[in-house]
Structures are given as structure tokens and as C-alpha cells.
Structure 1
Amino acid sequence: EMIKKKKHEYSIEYIDHNYKELLIPSGEYGKHLLDKNALHIWPRGEFMLIALANLDGSFTCTIFAPNKGKNSFEELQNKNSVQSYFTELFPDFVPLIPNLYDQWRTNPTSSLAIIKTYPWNVKEKVLLVGDSAHATVPFYGQGMNAGFEDCRILDELLNSSNENWKNSFNEYSKIRKPNGDGIQDLSMQNFIVMRDKTADSKFLLQKVIEKKFANLYPEKWTPLYSMVSFTNIPYSLAWEIGIKQENLMKKIMKITNIEKIWDRKEIMQKMYDLS
């Protein structure tokens, strides 16, 4: 009904990847077969496999892969192709799931999409929060939190306006729209990081350098992940700061022999001067 209203924008963008969940069962006596305190990622460039621990000793795993083309879901249509795919690309994963093909055949393959819409309200009558306003892909783990943040901001606006619903709804829509876009941008960026860059030694070195600088000068540098996950910095602002940080780090990583001299004082000073 909101879309039928004049001047109400709406779009849904399906990305070129689908996903399927698998389950690593618990070991003997409910023991976890992998480190339960880590996010496990098998990065493979255009696709990846991840695993997260459950309380019962099992792991929920998700394969994210292209819909079509090489190493895609399109290629995995029978038992031989599925077994070959995992044996070749994830050899250490295969022994953890004895019934791999049964799970593959039974569990659904699902799509991934980003929804954008504006405004998020119709006067003081209807208001969108959470996924109805800014559904995103799951690669930052912030979907539910973004919805809770919507509620917090709305509550603050209602309190400060003596519960003027019309003004609060209009202001909420203006304030939260950039942050809905922000978490969507952050999520897509982190998909690339997870599936590709976590296997890149230079990227990993960059993160080590950033961590050292943040420890030395916390007032000058908060890592992007920390801004998003552990502060109330708006998603849109975190996205902007993250772009500036990345541009700065491109200059640092181009320094000759950075792999050998990254922990020298002059490198930290260079970052300080640029930040």
C-alpha cells in the first residue's frame, strides 16, 4: 500500500550469490569439533564457507556461492558434483559432515537481497522499522541490531517531542534512511572482505598495522568493525570514516618494504600525521 503512494521509492536488488546452510554435528559427549570461540571462514575468492558454534556442540555452516558459472550452485546438481566440489575446495571440511550430500539435497538454497525504500512512514499512521525498511545481506551480523537501533532512535524522538507522532515519524525517516543505506553498504563490503581478503597476506598485515595504531592512539583511530559493532556511531558515519581509513591505509601499504618495517615508529608517525 505504501508503494502505491505517490513519491514513495522502493527497490529490491538480488545479489549474484545464493546460500545454503549445513550442520556439523557435535562430537562425542557433545564436544565441538572446531574451536567454539571463533568464526570459521574458508575464503575462496568469489565464494566462501563459514561456520559458527551452537551451544549443543554442533556448528551451523553456510556456503555462499554464485548462482551461475564456475564453482556455483548451478554446477552442484548431483551427489558426484557435490562431493567433488567439497573434496577439492574444502577438503578439511568434508570429514566433519558424514551426511553432506543428504543435507545438501534436503536443505533449501536461498537468495540474498537488499531492500531500499523511502520515506519510511506515511504521516503519523504507518512506520517501517528493521528489515521492512532496510533489509540487507548478513555479512556484518547487524540486521537485528539495526532494527533495535531504529526503535531506540524512535523512542528518543518521541520523548523529546512530547510524543508528537507526526513530527517524530518524519524526523525518524530522515535520520534513519542514511543509516539503513550505511549498514547495507557496510554489509556488502564485508562480504568481499570475508570471501576474498581474509586469505590475502597483505590485507592481514594491514589489519595488524591498524590494530597497533589504534592501541597507541585510540583517540585517532577506531577500527571500522569496532565502530559498527561496539559503539553508537551511526552506520552512515562509520561508513564515511571507514572510507577515509581505507584511503589512508592504501598510502601506508604502498610504502617500500612495508612488510619488513611496518612496526617502526616512523610508520606509526606517518599514520598519525595522515589521520
Structure 2
Amino acid sequence: MAEDMGMRILMAGASGFLGKGLVGRLTSDGHQVTRLVRRPARTPDERQWNPSAAQLDPAVVAEADAVVNLAGAGVGDKRWTDGYKNLIRSSRVDTTTTLAITIAGLPAADRPSVLLNSSAIGWYGDTGDRVVEEDAPAGEGFLADVSRVWEAATRPAEDAGVRVVRLRTGLPLHRSGGMLQPQLLPVKLGLAGKLGSGRQWWSWISLRDWLDASAFLLARDDIAGPVNGVGPDPATNAEFTRELARQLHRPAILPVPALALKVALGGFAQDILASTRVRPAVLTKAGFEYRHPDLRSALHAALTE
């Protein structure tokens, strides 16, 4: 198991919400994590790169047993102007392409054994009430298109014989970031309610389970390809909002009309209003054990741990 091996792990996207948590988790497991940064390296555990220009010293990658790529501009951080949509795409594809091509260009003996590359359940598009697993084709829409080229960018490493895991992350839950953080104040003020119809499915996962799943996937040499990083029990937006309000002891009675979301958020509204009902078939079949298999326990952990 990876926890016993003390792996040397090279990570892109280590400064983000998920990256910070994963660095801490892997370090506590006894691994050595080296972070890729775009500015000049300041500490012994940093290495500089420039993925926009496809610049990465192959020797940096040859030092690693495993590579983790979580890099990408936040999809909910800004309005989806054409410029920001280009950034969402390029920040994912450029980093993945640079890593995969560099890995493939190394002698076989020097290649890391695994590339754990971030992806998203946006791959599936809007699935309505239909349950999807990892074998479902890409859907339609901007995020599905981004996910398609993002995942395709890992192919050079895969073609070179490296185990590639494409982790299609859902909605990680923790009060410190992600999609939960900006919801907390409105709910605490009693200004929250379902978004649009509230019938859209949200495929969430507790942050602790996402960290556990990432470590699990690094350790399991028999798992490759797409893996849904979601919990086993997705909820509708209305169910999610009610449970969050209940745990914060506040009402959730002010629905937000779909039109208002589209005016306020632009293109990102399509992601919030889309329904993606995803099942973690690969993790379940592999015997992964969730600490927070239901929404109530996941939100409780997200708000208290």
C-alpha cells in the first residue's frame, strides 16, 4: 500500500482547496510531497514550472514515484466570460498535457508509476434523473467539453504504459472552501432556499472521503481509467438545502429562481442548475469504505471537523 511505501509524490495544484488538504493527508501518511509552482521555488519542497509554455524539467518528474495533478482555475470563482472560459479550459489542458508528455518522454525506468489526474463529473453533462457510472459517455455543454479534452490530455502518459487515474470529482463538502463555503452565510442569515426547481441532483462527497479516496487510488495498482469521486447517495438540491439549513438551525424558505441565477452568475448558472446523478461504481467495486456515506453525516463533518 502507498501508506506503507513512503512514496515521492509530485503535485500540481497543491495550493488549492483540495490540494492543500491532500498535501496534508499524504504527508501525514509518510509520503514526501513536492509541489509544482509557477513562481520561483522558495522552499526545498517546491519546483518551478510553466505549463502555459509547456516548460517542465524532466528530471523533476523522474524523481517522483507518483504524480498528482489538481491544477485548474475555479469554475465558480468568476462570471463565465469568453476569456474566463478559455482560462478554465487552458488551465486544465495545459497542465495535464505538460505533465503527460514529460512523463511519456522519460525512459521507462524513470517514469512515475501513476498519474492521478483531476477531472470532474461535469464530464456527464446534465443527466436529469438518470444514474450514470464511469462507463457513460461524455455529455453536452461547456463543462462536458472541457472534461473531454482534459481527460484526453492524459493519453501520452497512458500510451507510455503509466497507470493513469482520471478522478471525476463531484462536490466536495467542507466549510473551508469549495461549493459549500459561499452557501453558509446566506443560510445562517435565513436567506437560503432551493436553487431553481430544486429537483436537480447534486453528487457530493465529504472532503475526508475525497482525501481517503485519493490516497486509496494512489495505492491500488489495479485501478486505472475514470473514477467517480462522489459519495454513494446523491441528493437533490432541495434535499441538500433543507439538510444544510437544519444543521445550521435556520429556515430554508426563499427559493432562488433560475432566471435570477442566470442573471447573477451568467454561464456558471448552467452548472448549478444541471442535474448530475453519479454513482461511484469503481470505488464501490474496489471495496472503498466511506466514512460519510449519507448527506447528514457528510454535512455534519463538513461543518464541524
Q: What TM-score range do you get, normalising by the shorter chain?
A: under 0.3
Normalising by structure 1, what TM-score?
Answer: 0.26
Bigger relative contact order, structure 1 or 2 (CA pairs below 8 A, ≥6 apart) = 2
Normalising by structure 2, what TM-score?
Answer: 0.24
